[in-house]
Structure 1
């Protein structure tokens, strides 16, 4: 359910969210350029993060760039776009998404109020969303984008194991978001296949991160050997 609450706020899945031109354009852009399963995931991720923001004391809300959070959260998986023109052949999927969003979409749709600093914040949020042990130490905005995605995949309880007390999403809020943008039976296998395909098509972008785990399990002849930090150390020793 989407209910209007005036010019600046509306409610999606029980969560009050910003109702601004850039947020609405971001939702439309994601829906047009992402597979359905991925679109539902990013919407759930955004709403999880917004649910956390909504619990901030009112005096602190002025310090939260809610539009920037929406853009970063909703477009954090543009590296899995079904529009191949948005994808590279040699960059990590997170960087594909960050470059398209922060360097192209925002410059096209955002207007002058999107300074270089705001664009960089969005870039960081997208690029680091899959690296929680870095995102947690960047700034709260970046951690929030990562946490929203983690909540969707692991539930509030699972996300707390990584993000601790910043996870304030209730089970009731989580269930309401899941009801509005539900997992289909084939969604999780679809997500796995997206990661496996990266290991097939862009293996050099996967060896040093979690995506490579899927290559080792599911892709014949995939190997990180020769691409690990210890392999480079061995090469240096043998060539020295």
Structure 2
């Protein structure tokens, strides 16, 4: 049976159904409903921008984009975005999906918290980020109609105090590997939630590196044959 929400058809292929079940079995309700809203808002943004995109790939990207926050898919050291991208890649490989499609989904998940890049890549990549930015940050909120927002949230409710809840989910997914937040937005999460967190500083790393850029004693480097000439 086709499921249509806010005019957007939810993909109903075997691939999509199995992805839905896997995410449903793995993620808490907050992340599951968030991921479905990300697909819907991303698809609505794609229609508004008249982009041609593969709805099935967009769905997989949206559904897996936060899987790296769950204990089952969290690695010891990689960014949670990479963990989610790797989980999706394994899932798609198991279903015989081609490498170019897998690469789109991988990029969509890995880049979804890296502002300024996704919108310049293929539509699947751009639209996963657009959906995330709408649901988490409220970016482009007024570019969606009241009916679109109402229908999406009616189908997949935002929990009471979702804003705090999603920050808590980000915290739990990163607090045991704080180094993975260097240079990305999750550093802000740990700065808010973990009193022991200390930000790495890009400039301090440059200035403290092993390179010695002090002036050399060029006299000692002259050709010995001309030392007394």
TM-score for both structures, normalised by structure 1: 0.80
Residue 55 of structure 1 deviates from its aligned partner by 5.2
Distance 2:59 2:93 in 1: 16
Residue 215 of structure 1 deviates from its aligned partner by 1.8
**Matched position secondary structure for 1:236:** coil
Distance 2:64 2:175 in 1: 23
RMSD: 2.3
Unaligned runs of 5+ in 1: 161-166
Contact 1:15 1:50 in 2 (8 A): yes
Residue 68 of structure 1 deviates from its aligned partner by 0.7
Unaligned runs of 5+ in 2: 214-229
The answer on 1:230 being equivalent to 2:213 is no
Distance 2:160 2:197 in 1: 28
Q: How does 1:25-104 map to 2 (within 5 A)?
A: 25-54=18-47, 61=52, 64-81=53-70, 84-102=71-89, 104=90
Instruction: Look up the match of 2:171.
Output: 196
**Matched position secondary structure for 2:208:** helix
**Matched position secondary structure for 2:209:** helix
The partner residue of 1:106 within 84, 92, 104 is 92
Distance 2:62 2:15 in 1: 13
Choose 1 or 2 for highest CA Rg.
2
Contact 1:151 1:159 in 2 (8 A): yes
Instruction: Look up the match of 2:181.
Output: 206
Distance 1:49 1:238 in 2: 45
Contact 2:64 2:84 in 1 (8 A): yes
Aligned residues: 213
**Matched position secondary structure for 1:85:** coil
TM-score for both structures, normalised by structure 2: 0.83
1:14/1:141 CA distance change after superposition, 3 Å: closer
Distance 1:120 1:55 in 2: 25
Residue 169 of structure 1 deviates from its aligned partner by 3.4
1:199/1:66 CA distance change after superposition, 3 Å: closer
Residue 117 of structure 1 deviates from its aligned partner by 0.7
